[in-house]
Amino acid sequence: MHVWIEAIFGILFPVARPPRPWARLERPFCERCAEPFARPVAASFECANCAKRNWSLGRLRAAYREQGSVREAILGFKYGRKFHLRPWLGRWLADGFREHYAAEQWDAFVPVPLHPERRRKRGFNQSAEIAGWLGKRAGIPLVEGLRRVRATVPQARLTRAERLRNLRGSLVLAPGFDPRGKRLVICDDVFTTGATADACAKVLLRAGAGEVVALAVARR
């Protein structure tokens, strides 16, 4: 997808500008997985779910809740091929980056990979497209440093235990990518449980990455 195609879409379909997102992902939330809490809590805490989990990711963060215009834009871009939404999703990802990570130094954005067959059918990896948009503007390279080596059933239809089984062994380092000592941000359009991003982090840390965190446009 090229910038000029987006620009032409913007001229032809100015009404395609999505409504402003209204549901920011805001504290109080779990410092690890960003699960929001309705009531105020102690300054820094981990949720009960994270206390039982052995995360590879240092932190998960997102800009928005997966609701309303954000949810519609994510689905429209991914499944509806509404490519003019890419800069909006990029801006919304940037909102999350500014708020949660921009104060630190990062070596690369690493998109959650799609299995090659799914990528071929869809024609693009939505996470790479959105993260690439932000990377250009933030001056942080997009590195497709991970590969899926076998098809997985879409995670959204599975229970947590099934998700972990489904992911096990399906992610490997891309040839030529050396993450040793690097500080990396795994990027995705939406997090549900964070299991996929965490499986990505595990592969990168095992290969020597210094720190791995995750950022999505939206969190369920």
Interface with Zn ion (CB under 5 A): 30, 32-33, 35, 47, 50
Q: CA dihedral in degrees (115, 211, 189, 176; nearest 10)?
A: -30
Q: What minimum distance in Å lies between the beta carbon of 194 and Zn ion? A: 9
Q: Which is nearer to Zn ion, 52 or 180 (CB)?
A: 52
Q: Which is nearer to Zn ion, 34 or 130 (CB)?
A: 34
* Element at 186 (helix H, strand E): strand 183-191
Q: Which is nearer to Zn ion, 198 or 211 (CB)?
A: 198
Residue 168 is classified by DSSP as T
Q: What minimum distance in Å lies between the beta carbon of 23 and Zn ion? A: 18
Q: Nearest-CA neighbor of 217 among 54, 8, 55, 68?
A: 68
Q: Which is nearer to Zn ion, 85 or 186 (CB)?
A: 186
Residue 77 contacts residue 16 (beta carbons within 8 Å)? no
Q: Nearest-CA neighbor of 146 among 115, 120, 190, 101?
A: 115
Q: What minimum distance in Å lies between the beta carbon of 65 and Zn ion? A: 15
Q: What minimum distance in Å lies between the beta carbon of 58 and Zn ion? A: 12
